[in-house]
């Protein structure tokens, strides 16, 4: 009998999680959703993107980043020769907050502990790209997106590359060039993170200094993301 590959196992486990999310009522965001948005992409992706939460179009379609911000994300991925099928994309909360309000801490805590943590463990990416401030501050509570964006940070065995949320560029044209530049540097950030995992000396030294800045920025607070 043929053995299932690790990728097949991860894909099946991710599908099972998506099934749980589709019927989840563990926080108040379940009340206003049309569809939950579990996430999608390669189950063995090197890069995992974590945004904030579903918007109107995502809620309607049950897929992440399908509105104007999603179109921009597709363009950004294409600009470096990547496509959605090469990465994994999800959000900090899987259900749309009413009137696009910010997700609240208890909603973030619940959704993260039930689903996001397991998705990250299954995909096990080399690099985690946080889109916007919510996913960044789950890891680095005292970081600001304006300061951290475009930097490779490390925490608890994760390599993290913060970028502004693509939706920010829709409302603030001046951020568009910043996001485009940060995406251009994404392949280099991935390669640096990959080399760190395989442990070359020079990259270890660079990583330790990045670790220090990350620890200091967290200021001793206990981030709840992973």
Beta strand segments in the chain, E: 40-41, 47-51, 88-91, 127-131, 153-155, 158-163
- Please say which residue, 25 or 222, places its beta carbon nearer to ligand SF4: 25
Query: What is the size of the binding site for ligand SF4 (CB under 6 A)?
Result: 15
Q: Name the minimum Å distance from CB 195 to ligand SF4.
A: 35
- The answer to whether 158 contacts ligand SF4 (rule: CB under 6 A) is no
Q: What angle do CA 126, 41, 86 make, to 5 degrees?
A: 60
Beta pairing class for 153-155 and 40-41: unpaired
Q: Name the minimum Å distance from CB 29 to ligand SF4.
A: 4
Q: Name the minimum Å distance from CB 114 to ligand SF4.
A: 6
- Please say which residue, 14 or 111, places its beta carbon nearer to ligand SF4: 111
Q: Name the minimum Å distance from CB 22 to ligand SF4.
A: 8
Decide if 67 contacts 142 (C-beta within 8 A).
no
Contacts to ligand SF4 from residues 7-36, by CB under 6 A: 21, 24-27, 29-30, 36
The alpha carbon of residue 193 and the mean position of all alpha carbons in its chain are separated, in whole angstroms, by 16
- Please say which residue, 107 or 217, places its beta carbon nearer to ligand SF4: 107
Backbone angles phi, psi at 174, to 5 degrees: -65, -20
Beta strand segments in 20-91, E: 40-41, 47-51, 88-91
Q: Name the minimum Å distance from CB 64 to ligand SF4.
A: 13
Torsion-angle region of 101 (φ positive above 0: left; ψ -120 to 50: alpha; else: beta): beta
Contacts to ligand SF4 from residues 109-148, by CB under 6 A: 110-111, 114
| CB count in 10 Å sphere of residue 30 | 14
- Tracing tokens 């749309």 back to the chain, one arrives at 96
Contacts to ligand SF4 from residues 69-108, by CB under 6 A: 93-95, 107
- Please say which residue, 27 or 69, places its beta carbon nearer to ligand SF4: 27
Which residues are at the interface with ligand SF4 (CB under 6 A)?
21, 24-27, 29-30, 36, 93-95, 107, 110-111, 114
């Amino acid at each position: 009998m043929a053995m299932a590959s690790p990728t097949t196992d991860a894909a099946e486990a991710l599908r099972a999680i998506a099934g749980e999310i589709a019927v989840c009522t563990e926080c108040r965001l379940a009340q206003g959703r049309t569809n939950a948005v579990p996430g999608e992409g390669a189950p063995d992706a090197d890069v995992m993107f974590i945004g904030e939460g579903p918007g109107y179009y995502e809620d309607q379609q049950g897929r992440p980043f399908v509105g104007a911000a999603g179109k921009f994300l597709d363009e950004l991925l294409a600009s470096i020769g990547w496509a959605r099928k090469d990465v994994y994309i999800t959000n900090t909360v899987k259900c749309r907050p009413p009137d696009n309000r910010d997700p609240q801490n208890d909603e973030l805590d619940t959704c993260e502990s039930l689903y996001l943590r397991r998705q990250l463990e299954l995909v096990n990416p080399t690099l985690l790209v946080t889109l916007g401030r919510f996913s960044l501050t789950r890891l680095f509570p005292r970081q600001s997106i304006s300061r951290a964006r475009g930097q490779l940070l490390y925490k608890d065995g994760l390599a993290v590359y913060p970028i502004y949320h693509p939706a920010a560029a829709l409302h603030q044209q001046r951020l568009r060039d910043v996001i485009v530049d940060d995406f251009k540097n994404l392949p280099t950030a991935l390669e640096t993170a990959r080399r760190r995992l395989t442990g070359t000396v020079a990259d270890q030294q660079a990583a330790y200094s990045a670790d220090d800045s990350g620890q200091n920025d967290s200021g001793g607070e206990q981030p709840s993301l992973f």
